[in-house]
Amino acid sequence: MATEIVMPRLGWTMETGSIAEWLKKDGDSVKQGDIIFTVESDKAVNEIESFESGILRILPNSPAIGESVPIGTPLAYLVQPGEPAPFETGVPASATAAELVQLRPASTAIHANGHTIKSERVDQLHPTISPRARRIAGELGVDWQNVAGTGRTGRIVERDIRAAAEQIAVTTGSLRVSPVARRMAEDLKVDLGSLAAALPGQRIEKAHVEQAAAQVDSRRGVSAETRAPLSTIRRVIATRMAASLHTAAPVTLTTEVDATELVALRKQLKKDAAAIGLSVPSYNDLLAKLVAEMLIALPALNARLDGEEIVQSAAVNIGIAVNAERGLFVPVIRDVQTKSLRQIARESEVLIERARAGLLTTAEMSGGTFSISNLGMYAIDAFTPIINLPECAILGVGRIVPKQVVIDAEAEIVAIRQMLFLSLTFDHRVIDGAPAAQALQRLKQLVEHPLVGLL
Amino acid sequence: MRELTYIAAGREGLAEEMARDATIFVVGEGIGVRGGNFNTTQGLYELYGPLRLRDTPIVERGFVGMCCGAAMTGTRPIVDFMFVDFILDSIGEIFNQIAKIQYMSSGRLKMPIVLRGAIGIGGSAATHHSGSYFPMFVNIPGLRVVVPSNPYDVKGLLKTAIRSDDPVLFLEHKNLYNNKGQIPDEEYLIPFGAAAIAREGTQASVVAVGSMVRKTLEAADALAKQGISIEVIDPRTLAPLDIGTISESVHKTGRLLIVDETFAPCGIGAEIAAQVMVAGFDDLDAPIMRLNGLHTPTPYSPALEAAIVPTTQSITDAIQALLAE
Amino acid sequence: MSTQIDTTITIGKMEALALYRQMLMIRRCEEQLAKSYQAGMIPGACHTYVGEEAVATGICAHLTHRDAVFSTHRGHGHALAKGVTPRQLIAELYGRETGCSRGRGGSMHLFSPEVGMMGTSGIVGPCILQATGAGYSFKLLNTDQVGVAFFGDGAVNNGAFHEGINLATIWELPVIFVCENNMYATEIAFSYATRNTEVAERAASYKIPSVAVDGNDVLAVHAAAAEAVARARAGGGASFIECKTYRTRPHAEGMRDAGYRTADEIEAWKARDPLALLQSRLVGEGIANAGDFEPIDAEIKALVEDAAEFAKNSPFPDPTSVTNHIYSASQ
């Protein structure tokens, strides 16, 4: 009988973990006590030993190295020699993960401060009254608004109500309410006392109560919101974005670029590359190469702040922001300065694919020196991207859109050109505005005459 | 009917129960041949010998933990702490073990143990021999807390405590030890959770705990001469607490004062006030008030000691302030 | 201080195989629980007894359900050896109504007074005092029952150790104190926590009969317990047994097992596995052969698998019962 191996729970609070390394391969023979794999939890890397002996069969769809999955997620099986693995026979995996869900019922909401403290000031125009006196006033039908209190602070107390009741010998109660209105007020939880205060001298009718009830409803309002816990990825993104904004001193420069030549070039590449079955470079690939060219020329931007030192990198490693279903990922294309456009296209294609499938490893997402974020496909013109720390700059790319542009003002020549906004956010702690502006200017020139940069 | 002191009445209750049930034994420092520092066991060693009147070394945690194990295995221990301040050395055994064993064993184990000792400020006993601590015990699920105020109650409640299968803190104020009262010749028991109305009245309710009952009755007597009618309630047991009797009284009078020698913060007065607020908010004609001993360690000098405990005069003043609300 | 334990095998084949069976039941239950923990079936802590099986087994072999055992946070083995079933144990760790504590306790609060398992505890020390109290009851009631406390080296520097042993000694109570000296209190080495790591010697200073034995040798533990239990039942008072042993899994499941002790040390103790030691001894001395163990292995495997299945299929306790039994019905 096959034994399931799942993402183990390694501590009271552990909810997810990721495989750091498989120490046994699919098909390896495993003895009880052997270390099969290591798990990276929030605390450390742990060695996981086998409880049984058998042949290790790793699930074809087992989580990738570094991918965080919930505890209980099936990873592999131990089978006996000759025995097929369950995933080969179509036998469903055990319900371990489902049982886990059952075991952890929705946690009871505990409010640290369950009390709402009213800070409204006491309305000095209204007399105060003890709860008991108010109750008795109701019982005796005394309108206590006009009773003088004899309590220590002028509070109306029981004896005041009883005295008032004797004096005025009220027989029917102070509220004049129609029977229908009284019943309706009870059903709709409308306070007749305050309604009476708002309608001095009037008999309260059904319509008054309806109106008051409607007001209460509208004040209460209708709230429709849903709550969902942060996913691990969302939490990481949230932390990093906030950290970037709290740490860096971001300034964004924006310039409009004539991308007509770039568009023409891409069109040509698309035709030619596709014809011979090569990867077609995307605008991001083209821009990555041009940015690398710019960074080689102006290396001050290819730098990071490390404590008291500024570290300039010889290699240009460009991160490309990828929107995947689970959130934002930034895989890194390494040594862009030494790679051909074709190499870059091929690599980025693979990385984007892996990002969308959630298969990126930590290594594939680290070591960047500059990032590019492109929102052109969403018809965004320009925006202020957030620096991907510890890098010191990021390029925001808008949409390419045909516009009527003045070519020669004196000759009054206008033309339709493919225009593009580039936004450069840089960390003013690392570099000043003028050199950053020079960098963007240099990039503008490269985009407008791309062949120069791609040679 | 006979007149007995508080201490003699308690001792009579203990003696009756020890004669009735051979599984009862008492442990404590000097409770054997010596008969107890406060004469709580006087004469019993001669009757029952060292196995049932067990003098201990000074190891509160040790003998309390031991009595926990004994109560789980068929006997009914009574721990006589002398001064209840000494109980603090064994608090883990009480809170973590004794109070929880019945629950953790789903009622398959019982915990018939009585933890008794002298509480209260008086006689320049100073800060290590003057504590009361009962709010702390009331806070813990699984414990019963009894604070008898007179000789009649101490006997009837001690017999109930000894027969209870729950752990009972039995806290006797040392200033009451020589007070006398009438004790019936026939056997009687007083149930837990039944407050006593020590004096009937109509204008305000005063809940008084332990040694404060007598002082409050004196204050009520003084006020009666001015035509003021005060109801005095002695809860007798704080866990369980007879909130019903207190609420009924407040329904009648509309005003409530709680007089307690122990500290006010998170004390029994706070608890009673909170419960009455919910059960009888519309009965209240004035804010609920408390009169407590000062929130301070207990000083030695008589001049200082007298300054921290409620007196008949301060209780009278508090009642008058309550009536003026 | 300590008397020499004669380790000649004096028990018969059936008795020896019963010891093997009991140790194996503990081992397999613990392995199942470790597995269940990783699978997320155990919502709280889980302290296993792997490597120390010989102690509970050797001591409890001399006890009946009328004797009272008080134990520690590492108490699964004591509960099983005292008669709690694997089903009741595993269901308790799963938080189920069918657990020995009805799902109220988990790993650290195992109660089964029906078989004299008077509770394990999440606090270090109280079990020593409570076993002393059981001894007090038995003496007062004039029965031949005994109270037994199991505790680790972590309890030895605690006041409860000194207070309990002293009281049991001066009053000659029928109590057996069993120290499982596994060299670490959580991750604190005993050699750090005291200048005198000889526990039996420290106990002996209270003038209690005290002995130190190889806690991985079930026959040695069994022999020492035989003498102590007989003394207690005969009215001879309390005894102390130090069992030098080792847990080969981490303090609690999910905790690290490195940094405070070396892999070599763990391996050396694994090589002295109490089950393997007994097996080779019995085979070596011609008392049993390999074939004698196979049916036991199969029986225990099936027993533990059944227990895990039973636990998994058992209901959770009814939340409306959560405040039951805080007080007795007496008042």
Per-residue pLDDT tens digits for A131-143: 999 999 888 888 8
pLDDT reading at A391 higher than 80: yes
pLDDT value for B37:
93
Q: Tell me: the pLDDT tens digits for A225-284?
A: 667 777 777 777 888 888 888 888 999 999 999 999 999 988 888 888 777 777 788 899
Q: Who's near A298: CB < 8 A, 6+ residues apart?
A: A435, A438, A439, A442
Q: Tell me: the pLDDT tens digits for B136-181?
A: 999 999 999 999 999 999 999 999 999 999 999 999 999 999 999 9
Dist. CA A48–CA A19, nearest whole Å? 10
pLDDT value for A230:
73
- Please judge whether A135 and B325 are an interchain contact, meaning their C-beta atoms are less than 8 angstroms apart: no
CA distances from B228 to B222, B231, B234, B325 (A): 9, 10, 19, 15
Which amino acid is it at C4? Q
Confidence of residue B64 (pLDDT cuts 50, 70, 90): very high
pLDDT value for A99:
37
Closest Cβ–Cβ partner in C104, C131, C330 for B164 = C330
Q: Which residues of C touch A104 (CB under 8 A)?
A: 43
Using CB atoms, which chains have 3+ pairs under 8 A with C?
A, B
Q: Tell me: the pLDDT tens digits for A410-449?
A: 888 888 999 999 999 999 988 999 999 999 999 999 999 9
* Mean pLDDT (whole number) for A15-21: 87
Q: How many residue pairs bridge chain A and chain C with CB atoms within 8 Å of each other?
A: 40
CA distances from B304 to B123, B127, B296, B313 (A): 12, 12, 11, 17
Rounded to two decimals, what is the model's pTM? 0.68
Q: Who's near A374: CB < 8 A, 6+ residues apart?
A: A283, A284, A287, A320, A321, A396, A397
Q: What are phi and psi of C124, to 5 degrees?
A: -80, 125
Residue that wins the pLDDT comparison between C324 and A245 = C324
Q: Tell me: the pLDDT tens digits for C244-292?
A: 999 999 999 988 777 899 999 999 999 999 999 999 999 999 999 999 9
pLDDT reading at A214 higher than 80: no
Residue B133, classed as helix, strand or coil, is coil
Q: Who's near B28: CB < 8 A, 6+ residues apart?
A: B36, B41, B54, B55, B56, B63, B79, B80, B81, B82
CB-CB contact of A282 with A301 (8 Å): no
Q: How far is CA A367 from the centre of its chain?
A: 23
Confidence of residue A397 (pLDDT cuts 50, 70, 90): very high
Of the listed ranges A39-48, A429-438, B51-60, the one predicted with least confidence: A39-48
Interface confidence, given as ipTM, is 0.93
CB-CB contact of C179 with C240 (8 Å): yes
Interface of B with C in 189-228 (CB under 8 A): 191-193
SS3 content of chain C, % helix, strand, coil (to 5): 50, 10, 40
pLDDT reading at B249 higher than 90: yes
pLDDT reading at A398 higher than 90: yes
In the residue annotation, A246 being an active-site residue is answered as no
- Please judge whether C39 and A96 are an interchain contact, meaning their C-beta atoms are less than 8 angstroms apart: yes
- Please judge whether B282 and A134 are an interchain contact, meaning their C-beta atoms are less than 8 angstroms apart: yes
- Please judge whether A132 and B325 are an interchain contact, meaning their C-beta atoms are less than 8 angstroms apart: no
Q: Who's near A120: CB < 8 A, 6+ residues apart?
A: none
Crossing angle of helices C126-141/C159-170, nearest 10°? 20
- Search chain A and give the residue with CA nearest B286: A130
**Exposure of B231 by Cβ count < 10 A (0-12 exposed, 13-18 middle, 19+ buried)?**
buried
pLDDT value for A399:
93
Closest Cβ–Cβ partner in C41, C44, C254 for A10 = C254
- Please judge whether B110 and C328 are an interchain contact, meaning their C-beta atoms are less than 8 angstroms apart: yes
- Please judge whether B75 and C140 are an interchain contact, meaning their C-beta atoms are less than 8 angstroms apart: yes
pLDDT value for A175:
62
Q: Which residues of C touch B111 (CB under 8 A)?
A: 328
Of the listed ranges A361-375, B110-124, C151-165, the one predicted with least confidence: A361-375
Q: Which residues of C touch A99 (CB under 8 A)?
A: 39-41, 312
Q: Tell me: the pLDDT tens digits for C204-218?
A: 999 999 999 999 999
Q: Which of B129, B173, B248, B261 is catalytic?
A: B129
CB-CB contact of B299 with B308 (8 Å): yes
Dist. CA C247–CA C253, nearest whole Å? 12
Q: Which of A111, A208, A428, A449 is catalytic?
A: A428
pLDDT value for A126:
60
Residues of A with CB under 8 A from a CB of B: 130-135, 151-152, 155, 157-158
Classify each residue of C161-193 as buried b or exposed e, where b means 16 or more C-beta atoms within 10 Å of its C-beta.
bbbbbbbbbebebbbbbbbbbbbbbeeeebeee
How many CA atoms does the CB half-sphere of B176 hold within 13 Å? 28
CB-CB contact of B113 with B25 (8 Å): no
pLDDT reading at C80 higher than 90: yes
> What are the residues facing C241 on neighbouring strands?
C178, C211
Q: Tell me: the pLDDT tens digits for C4-61?
A: 555 677 788 999 999 999 999 999 999 999 999 999 999 999 999 999 999 999 999 9
pLDDT value for A128:
87
Q: Which of B60, B93, B172, B261 is catalytic?
A: B60
Mean pLDDT of chain A: 80
C1 to chain A, closest Cα gap in Å: 40
pLDDT value for A209:
82
Of the listed ranges A76-80, A244-248, C216-220, C233-237, the one predicted with least confidence: A244-248
A11 to chain B, closest Cα gap in Å: 25
Is C140 near chain B, with CB under 8 Å?
A: yes
Q: Who's near A7: CB < 8 A, 6+ residues apart?
A: A16, A17, A19, A39, A63, A69, A70, A71, A72, A73, A75
* Mean pLDDT (whole number) for A351-361: 83
Nearest C-alpha neighbor of A59 from the set A13, A4, A107? A4
- Search chain B and give the residue with CA nearest C97: B106
pLDDT value for A207:
82
Using CB atoms, which chains have 3+ pairs under 8 A with A?
B, C
Dist. CA A13–CA A17, nearest whole Å? 11
